[in-house]
Amino acid sequence: MASNSGQVVTRFAPSPTGFLHIGGARTALFNWLYARHHGGKALLRIEDTDRKRSTPEAIDAILDGLAWLGLDWDEDVVFQSERGARHVEVAEQLLAGGHAYKCYATPEELEEMRAAQRAAKQPLRYDGRWRDRDPADAPTGAPYVVRLKTPQEGETAIEDRVQGRVTVRNAELDDYVLLRADGSPTYMLAVVVDDHDMGVTHVIRGDDHLNNAFRQLPIYRAMGWAEPAYAHIPLIHGSDGAKLSKRHGALGAETYRDEFGILPEALFNYLLRLGWGHGDREEIDRDEAIALFDLDGVGKSPSRFDLKKLQNLNGHYIRAADDARLARLVAGRIDLPTDEALLTQAMPVLKTRARDLDELAEGAAFLFKTRPLAMTEKAQSLLNDDARAILHQVSTRLRAENDWTIEALEATTKSLAEELSLGLGKLAQPMRAALTGTTTSPGIFDVLVLLGREEALARLDAQAAPAAER
């Protein structure tokens, strides 16, 4: 892995123990945008050292979610589990340099230590009992872990790019484990070694990792490695201010795509604005985001996830989306045989009020229904005897219309409404029920044109006819 030669290098490093949740997706986005804005590299590392919980399915879900959001990576994906030998090599270098030591404390001794600390209401931390002892004091062949010798005096300060200057007294840091008794490296060691070897210059992650930065810096310093810049982003909360959970929308990216019908550009934009801002701008596309994004726009307070706001933003992107693309996405959401060409033709009128792909599918379903149409309860209630009499007159008048266009059909229907001394709504309501089986649809003249002359008249006649003939 090469050094970066002054180039900005960021990384997103998820643990594949589940889907790409909304917080992880935002972290990935911020890393990607920062690298793109500065002409640098965005790298992806899968931290799959927990072999029991890291599954191929979870890795695939993360990669799929990132690709759907349009986040691409500049080098091959790094799998942390494949780098164990390198992690051990660095631990041995730290041992040889006197920056780490072997600890032979048994699990029973460590539990006694913690029990005494709990009884004295002290922080639970390793007390350094093997820090300066001679390994020869240990029984021959006794198991041991390797611990880092952290500084004990003074304090460590980090100039965090989001949090500002943060200081911790070194006495609060304990000598944590680098290599377990079975020789396997710990997360804390692996992360530092991988970030260094990948040339990472900026570590952008959730502020729940801020304490880890103070524990990781001593490894950089002991090895004489360049330290990265840190940017710890406040976590996302629910709309009620509580920690984000599934009930707030802490779900996988694929759930927003598959179950909520959200477009990737809408989620991209929403996550961008979740904790980062540029004036009052709400709608920012991908190219603008790259041009505008920098860490000074990231706020220090937790942002609040609001599903309704996401859905409203999604509506904006649906209206802006290509009609043929929407037709492809919507076709699979309609439980009827569909015609993508007809769906594409209908999109300009279907998408004006839809907030998600399911609403689009629901609005388009009338095009593919077969007679006799299933009616919603509300639609059925509109079709009383007076309404059926009106539908008979509407059908008769429209059948005489040779120009089956929106303008001609509207003029003909309005003329009939005036003759009957009725408002246009008195005709449109039963027409909508008869034509779509529902009480909501695109404009009634759009519906007539999209259905076509033959099908539209057949649907009107089916509801205008006497009950015995239906």
Q: Which residues are catalytically annotated?
A: 246
- Token reading at 393: 């007159």
Q: Which residues make up each annotated binding site?
A: 246
- Token reading at 441: 């649809």
- Token reading at 149: 């010798």
Q: What is the DSSP string of 266-335?
A: HHHHHHHTSSB--TT-----HHHHHHH--GGGB-SSPEE--HHHHHHHHHHHHHHS-HHHHHHHHHTTSS
Contacts with 351 (C-beta within 8 Å, 6 or more apart), sequence order: 318, 319, 321, 323, 326, 360
Contacts with 31 (C-beta within 8 Å, 6 or more apart), sequence order: 10, 11, 12, 42, 202, 204
Give, to the nearest 10 degrees, the angle between helix 264-272 and helix 307-320.
Answer: 130
Mode of pairing for the β-strands spanning 41-46 and 78-79? parallel
Strand, helix or coil for residue 25: helix
Q: What is the CA radius of gyration of the chain?
A: 32
Q: Which residues make up each annotated binding site for ATP?
A: 246
Residue where the block lists tokens 């759930």: 255
Q: What is the DSSP string of 428-455?
A: HHHHHHHHHSSS--S-HHHHHHHH-HHH
Contacts with 403 (C-beta within 8 Å, 6 or more apart), sequence order: none
Neighbours of 384 (CB within 10 A): 11
Cβ 53 vs Cβ 17: under 8 Å: yes
Give the integer Cα–Cα distance in Å for 66 and 388: 53
Closest residue by Cα to residue 309 from 276, 281, 282: 282
Cross-strand pairs, 369: none
Mode of pairing for the β-strands spanning 100-103 and 145-148? antiparallel
Closest residue by Cα to residue 435 from 410, 466, 464, 411: 464
Cross-strand pairs, 120: none
**Would you say how long the chain is, in residues?**
470
